[in-house]
Structure 1
Amino acid sequence: MLSKIKNDKNLFFILLIGIVSLFADMTYEGARSITGPYLSLLGASAAAVGFVSGLGEFIGYGIRLLSGIVADKTKKYWTITILGYIINLIAVPALALAGNWYIAAVLMVCERFGKAIRNPSRDVILSQATAAIGHGKGFGIHEALDQIGAITGPLIVSFVLYFSGNYKISFLALLFPALLAISVLLIAKNNYSKNDGFKTIINPIKSTELKKIFWLYLTAISLIAIGFADYPLIAFHFSKTGQTAKEWIPVLYAIAMGVDALAALLLGKLFDKHGIKILIVTTLISAFFAPLVFQGNFYTAMLGMVCWGIGMAALESVVKAFLATILPSDKKATGFGIFYAVFGFFWFIGSFIMGSIYDISILWLILFSIGMQLASIPFFIILVNKNQ
C-alpha cells in the first residue's frame, strides 16, 4: 500500500514536469517557427539568420556540460533548473520588444542558453522520480507531453499571425504559456519537497565498468546523431524537388511529432521490460527514413517521416532512460551534460556533412545516413551483453 502511494506521488510529479515541458515547448517551439522570417523583417541577411541559429544550437548543447558539472558540485538542482527555465522562457516574449535584429539575435541565443542551463539538472530531478515507476515509462510520459507542446506551439503562432498579421503580437501571445510553465514548475518543486517517495538509487555498477558502458553508449548515440538528418534539410529537399506540396511540409513535420509522442510512450514501456535491446530495433527502423524521404513520392515521404518520428522518440525517451539507469547518483548531471554536449557536437557535424553531400549526390547522402546509423548497432549489441 505504501509502495503504491509513493509510486502515485512519483507519477504525479512526472506529469507535472511533463506539463512544464508542454508549456515550455509551446513557448519556444512556437517562437522558433517564425524567428527566421522575423529576423529577416528586422533586416538580417540569410547568412546572419543561419549564423544565429547555429550559434544558438551550439551554445544550447555545449553549455550543458558546464551546467551539469556545476549542478553536481553544488547540488543546487532546483535552483539551476528554475533559473534556466526563467531565462529560456522570458527571452521568447521579449522578442516582441526587439528594435533591431541584433537584439533579437541576442534574445534567441539567451533562449538556447537558458535551456542549456536547466536541462541536465531537470533530467536528474526527473530521473529520481522515474526510478520508482520505471525510467522508460517515466521519460516516455515526459517526452509525449513535451511533443504535444511542440506541435501546438507553432499552430498557436500560426493562428495569431493569421488574424493579427503581426510578428510582435505573436511573440507576446507566447507570454501566457511561458508564465504557465514557470507556475507549474514551482508547483512541482513544492510537490517534490513534500514528497518522501523520492529515493536516489545508488548504481551498483563498478566505476571502471561504468565508464566503459557510458563511453560505448555515447559512441553508439554519436553515430546515430551523425547520420540523423535534421528536419530543415528534409524540408529544404521537399521544397526544392516539389516531391511534397509546400503547404504539406509543416503537416509532415506535425505528423512526425505526433508519431514521436505516441512512440515515446510505447518505447518507454518496452525499455523497462526489454532494456537497451529496444534501441537496436528503433535504429533499424529509423535508419531507413533517408531513402523513403529523399527518394520517392509523397506517400513514401510520409512513411519516411513516421520512421523519422520513431527515431526521434527513441532519442528523447529511451536514450535518456538508459542514461538514468547507469549514471551514479552523484554524477548524474555531469553525465547528462557530457551526453548533451557530445550528442550536440556530432549532430552539428552530421548536419554539416549531409548538407554538403546533398549538393553533390542525394544517393551518397542516403548511404551516409543509413551507414552511420547502422554502425551504432554493434555497440548496442556489446552493451546488451554487458547488461545481461
Structure 2
Amino acid sequence: MGVVSFFTDISTEIMVAVLPTFLVLQLGATPDIVGTIEGIAESTTSFLKLASGTISDKMGKRKSLVVIGYAISNVVKPLMGFSSSWAHVLGLRSADRVGKGLRAPPRDAIISDSAMEERVGRAFGVHRTLDQLGAIVGPVIAFLLLVPLGYQGLFLLTAIPGTLAILILVIFVKEPKRRSAVSKCTLNGAKSFLTKNVYTYLASVTLYSLGAISYAFILLRALELGIPEEFAPLVYTCIQVFHVLSGLPAGELSDKIGRVRAIQLGYALLLGSFLVMALAPSPLIFIIGASLFGAHQGMVETSQRAIIPCLVPEEYRGTAYGLYNMLIGVATLPTNLVAGILFSMSSTFSFYYGAVFAALASIAIAFVGSVSENPVKRRI
C-alpha cells in the first residue's frame, strides 16, 4: 500500500502544489473562494468515508473499494487543466475527494489487519513515509516543469503516476487474511466500540481538524511575504520533506512512548508552526514555520491512525477509520471557510485561528484515559 500511495501522491501533489496559484493567478479566484473549494471538496465526502469503512467491515473484502477510490481520483486529476472557472475546479476537486473518501478507511484497515500487533505504529509510519516521499517528488516535478509545460501540461502529467499506482494496487496488493470472522455489524451495532476513551479521542481529532487550515493558505502567505510564484511549489516541497522525515520516527516513537503522548507532541508542533508562520518577518523564518508544519503532519497522521487499533476491536476498525475520516472531513468545510474569510481580512488571522484550535486539541487529548499499546482483540 505504501508504494501505491507513493505514486498516487506524486500525481496528487503535482496538482496541489500549483492549484492555489492556478486558481488565484489564472482563474481570478479570491482567498475566500480558495478556502471554500478546499472545504466543500473535503466535507462533501465525509459521510461517504463512514459508509465506505462500514461496508468494508460487512463485506470482509476491503481491496475492491480501495481500487475504485484510487481509480476515481486518478481519472479526474488530469482534467483540472481544462477548467475555465473556479466552479469547474470545485467539481473536479470534489470528485477527487470522493475517490479518497472511498479508499481511505478500507486502506487503513488493510494496513492495520496486515501488521503485527506490536508494530502497528511502525506499519503506519512506513506507509506515511512512502506516501510523503511521493509528496516530495510531486512538487519538485511541478517546480521543474511548470514553466515549460504550463498548468494544463502539469495536470495532464498526473495521469502517468496515477496509472502506475492503480496497476500496482491491482496486481500486487493482496487482501489480508482476517484474524476474526467477517463482521456482521451495522452502524447501530458498531456503537458498542464507542467507549468514553473513543469519544474523547474523536473530540480531540475534531478540534484538531477545526484548526488544520489548508495548504493553500500557507502558499498564499508565502506569496504575500515575497516568495515568487514559480517558487511556491518549493515551499510545498519543504513541508513534505519534513513530513517524510517525521513519519517513520513518529510511528516508532508512538510504539515506545504511547500513542497519546505522540499525538500531543504533534499538536504542539502544529501550534508552534502556526505562530511562527503568522509572526514571520521574512521568507526564511516563514520556511522554518512551514517545516514545523510538515513535521507535525508526520507525527499526527501516523499516531492518530495508529491509536485506533488500540481502542477498537478488529471487526469494527473499518467503521472506526470511516468515522475518524468523516469527522476530519466534516470539520474541513467550516475550517477553510473561516480561514478564507480571516485571510481576506489579514493573513495572520487565519494562522492565529489555527493555533487556538491546536491548543484546544492538546488539552482534549490529555483526557484520553489509559490506552493499551497493543491492538484490541475481537470481542466475543
Shorter-chain TM band: 0.7 to 0.9
From the superposition, tell whether residues 382 and 241 of structure 1 become closer, same or farther in structure 2 (CA, over 3 Å).
same
Normalization by structure 1: what TM-score?
A: 0.81
Question: Match for residue 187 of structure 2?
Answer: none
The alignment partner of 1:266 has SS state of: helix
Amino acid at match of 2:248: L
From the superposition, tell whether residues 340 and 361 of structure 1 become closer, same or farther in structure 2 (CA, over 3 Å).
same
Question: Match for residue 338 of structure 1?
Answer: 323
Match 1:144 to one of 124, 129, 134: 129
Match 1:129 to one of 99, 105, 114: 114
What is the RMSD of the two structures over their aligned residues, measured on CA atoms? Answer: 3.2
Match 1:371 to one of 331, 356, 363: 356
Cα distance, 1:374 vs structure 2: 1.8
How do residues 74-153 of structure 1 correspond to structure 2 at under 5 angstroms? 74-95=59-80, 98=82, 106-132=91-117, 134-153=119-138
Cα distance, 1:63 vs structure 2: 2.1
How do residues 167-206 of structure 1 correspond to structure 2 at under 5 angstroms? 167-190=151-174, 192=175, 199=179
Q: Which runs of 5+ in 1 are unaligned?
A: 1-16
For 1:247 and 1:43, how far apart are their aligned partners in 2?
17
The alignment partner of 2:137 has SS state of: helix
Question: Match for residue 73 of structure 1?
Answer: 58
Match 1:232 to one of 216, 220, 223: 216
Question: Match for residue 377 of structure 2?
Answer: none
Greater Cα radius of gyration, structure 1 or 2: 1
For 2:332 and 2:279, how far apart are their aligned partners in 1?
22
The question of whether the paired residues in 2 share the 8 Å contact of 1:128 and 1:200 is answered with: no
Q: State whether structure 2 residue 336 is matched by structure 1 residue 323.
A: no
The alignment partner of 2:173 has SS state of: helix
Cα distance, 1:288 vs structure 2: 1.4
Cα distance, 1:32 vs structure 2: 3.1
The question of whether the paired residues in 1 share the 8 Å contact of 2:21 and 2:229 is answered with: no
From the superposition, tell whether residues 131 and 351 of structure 1 become closer, same or farther in structure 2 (CA, over 3 Å).
farther
From the superposition, tell whether residues 39 and 225 of structure 1 become closer, same or farther in structure 2 (CA, over 3 Å).
closer
For 1:48 and 1:356, how far apart are their aligned partners in 2?
9
Cα distance, 1:184 vs structure 2: 1.1
How do residues 289-300 of structure 1 correspond to structure 2 at under 5 angstroms? 289-297=273-281, 298-300=283-285
The alignment partner of 1:134 has SS state of: helix
The question of whether the paired residues in 1 share the 8 Å contact of 2:122 and 2:252 is answered with: yes
Question: Match for residue 287 of structure 2?
Answer: 302
The alignment partner of 1:383 has SS state of: coil
Q: State whether structure 2 residue 287 is matched by structure 1 residue 287.
A: no
Question: Match for residue 256 of structure 1?
Answer: 239
Q: Which runs of 5+ in 2 are unaligned?
A: 183-189, 374-380
Cα distance, 1:31 vs structure 2: 2.5
The question of whether the paired residues in 1 share the 8 Å contact of 2:39 and 2:337 is answered with: no
Question: Match for residue 3 of structure 1?
Answer: none
Larger RCO (alpha carbons 8 Å, 6+ apart): 2
Amino acid at match of 1:273: K
For 1:295 and 1:364, how far apart are their aligned partners in 2?
10
For 2:302 and 2:351, how far apart are their aligned partners in 1?
25
Q: Tell which deviates more after alignment, 363-372 or 301-310.
A: 363-372
Cα distance, 1:230 vs structure 2: 2.4
For 1:385 and 1:25, how far apart are their aligned partners in 2?
35
Cα distance, 1:279 vs structure 2: 1.4
From the superposition, tell whether residues 309 and 26 of structure 1 become closer, same or farther in structure 2 (CA, over 3 Å).
same
From the superposition, tell whether residues 369 and 143 of structure 1 become closer, same or farther in structure 2 (CA, over 3 Å).
same
Q: State whether structure 2 residue 151 is matched by structure 1 residue 162.
A: no
Q: Once the two structures are superposed, what CA deviation does each residue of 1:190-209 show, in whole Å capped at 9, x if it has no partner?
A: 4x46xx6x64599xxx9867
The question of whether the paired residues in 1 share the 8 Å contact of 2:128 and 2:247 is answered with: yes
From the superposition, tell whether residues 160 and 332 of structure 1 become closer, same or farther in structure 2 (CA, over 3 Å).
same
For 1:19 and 1:164, how far apart are their aligned partners in 2?
27
For 1:330 and 1:250, how far apart are their aligned partners in 2?
41
The alignment partner of 2:213 has SS state of: coil
For 1:104 and 1:370, how far apart are their aligned partners in 2?
29
The question of whether the paired residues in 2 share the 8 Å contact of 1:226 and 1:372 is answered with: yes
Normalization by structure 2: what TM-score?
A: 0.82
Question: Match for residue 366 of structure 2?
Answer: 381
Cα distance, 1:352 vs structure 2: 2.6
Q: Tell which deviates more after alignment, 302-311 or 253-262.
A: 302-311
User: Between Structure 1 and Structure 2, how many residues are aligned?
Assistant: 362
Amino acid at match of 1:254: T
Question: Match for residue 252 of structure 2?
Answer: 269
Question: Match for residue 4 of structure 1?
Answer: none
For 1:381 and 1:29, how far apart are their aligned partners in 2?
33
For 2:33 and 2:355, how far apart are their aligned partners in 1?
32
